[in-house]
Structure 1
Amino acid sequence: MKTFLRLLGLLLLLALAGSGWLFYEGYTFLNTAPQTEGQEVLFDVPPGAHFAQVATALEQKGVVTDARKFRLLARYKEWDGRLQAGRFALNSGWTPEKVLDMLVNGQPVLFRITVPEGLTWWQTGKLLEEAGLVRFEDFRKVIMDPDFLRHYGIPFATAEGFLMPDTYLLKKADEPDAAQARSVAGRLVDNFWRKAAPVWPGGAKPAVDQLKTWMILASVVEKETGIDAERRRVAGVYQNRLARNMILQADPTVIYGLGPGFDGNLRRSQLDDPNNLYNTYQRPGLPPGPICSFGMAALRAAINPEKHDFIYFVAITDGGEHVFSTNLTDHNRAVRQYLQNRRKTQNR
């Protein structure tokens, strides 16, 4: 009997010691950061990531000291299924509970990027790639993907024109993939539809044919002038030319058709090339699709062009205001003046 009591007492003592050790280990883990003077660690949680994988990665990056204990903490709080996807700014000086709270309830780090007006889809793709938000090839495939285009109601072969110029706060992944490109492209297109909604006459989305006309014309207006006061007048010129069955003769459409390899020097041979689908010097009517991303000012101009008799225009100086003409004689005179002004500028 005495032997039994001694054994029982020993077991109780061991149990108490074990409980005390577990308590100490748990308390130490919960209240001790990996580093006294912590360092910021940018950490990505991929969409659909398992908590065990995240915990292991956190331990490897020095944000928590023990992945297994971190998993137990999340399970105890019933937060192991509530991880957010995104990039988080964590700190190796935080306690495990603070790290867990940030991953579940905190705000992922968002990266600010501005997409200017007038960019082509490939310029936008390069801009996003340089910012580390997408891979260019993924972006190219997404904005040409029929499922993507159908989902977002885009009636063209690409999402050109629908990649809304604006300043965005976007999530950033360590290794951008196709899903990331789709998410970013979708964000830009969603923003277009949101901003265009109050611009449509009557507040209703236009029929497909009308939408196509306005989108293409708005993109040409965007490339032709950066002066707000001229946008409706430029749109009116092209409207007049279309009404008279005149070819548009818009340099920006030809340049777009030449693609990313255009060297900045538009040659006569390129203007004479009928194989360029966007060559409005050789092909009647509007080009097959938009030629850039445009702002709402250009879209408003395309929807409501200025009514006038002008059918020609040429810049006074590169990048400046334009002279508008109702006849070829006046237009040729304005062209000669433009060339003189250009030579003066180049000789300075």
Structure 2
Amino acid sequence: MVGIILASHGGFAEGIYQSGEMIFGKQENVAAVILKPNEGPEDVRAKMEKAIASFDDQDQILFLVDLWGGTPFNQANQLYEEHKDKWAIVAGMNLPMVIEAYASRLSMESAQEIAAHVIETAKDGVKVRPEDLAPAEEATKEPAAAAQPQGAIPEGTVLGDGHIKYVLARVDSRLLHGQVATAWSKSVQPTRIIVVSDAVAHDELRKKLIEQAAPVGIKANVVPISKMEQVAKDPRFGDTRALVLFENCADALRAIKGGVDIKEINLGSIAHSTGKVVVNNAIAMGPDDVEAIEELLKMGIKFNVRKVPADSPEDINSLLKKANAELAKK
């Protein structure tokens, strides 16, 4: 696996390392190297060399640095000169760049291949609102979305095998946020994100914000449960790879009972509220949650309990047991 060094002036590299871990999960063979105010170039180089020595493989190293020409860059550049046939440096580090580099390690084995790939993602991550503040050529640029069924396609048309592909069905009270838009989207490669919620579908502001939060090249839709039941039976969606998001397990249960052919649910996050008990660091359950999950299990639905792909799955039955015990005390 390609080793990655995040290097910066001050604590920037450490902060972006922590942010990347929150979104994409804990990463092996990644180190943050910072230049403190009281340190010099030799200190940074020593830290980089120590980090490289700790990696499983020192053959492929990618440096992501904050500023071209700064001390972290200069020290990385000196090390790079001895390995320029394989190592790489990218300056202008931002969070989209770091996350893309993490994701790229799943399919790319070369530091230079990853370096070339993450540049465009880093640029695409720079956006502005209001949109008319962007340079003219960017303001008119439309993401190249994958081909999807449009209203002009006649009813009854069969695309692909006529059956929508559910690459991930996730219960997450936050719906579309960083972990979903980056880590999970990179992992399962959807062509469309579908938020299934009666409440959000009738809230124009929340609906608009979710649609705007979609990753580049992936269209996001917000639909009520009844509409999702229709989509599930529409052969025009046969070429669609869908990442489906539910706010709660009760909504997922309703959709599945209505004919949405989901076999596994990724339980990512249920926010704590009155009447719920905390069962792990991301999930709180109330009686309604427990009831819905138990019914889904009886229907043969599998549960994959984890926030991000890099996490180890937790046992749903252990969480249910804890929830029932805590709820019984109330």
Report TM bin, short chain.
under 0.3
Structure holding more strand per residue: 2
Larger proportion of helix:
1
Larger radius of gyration: 1
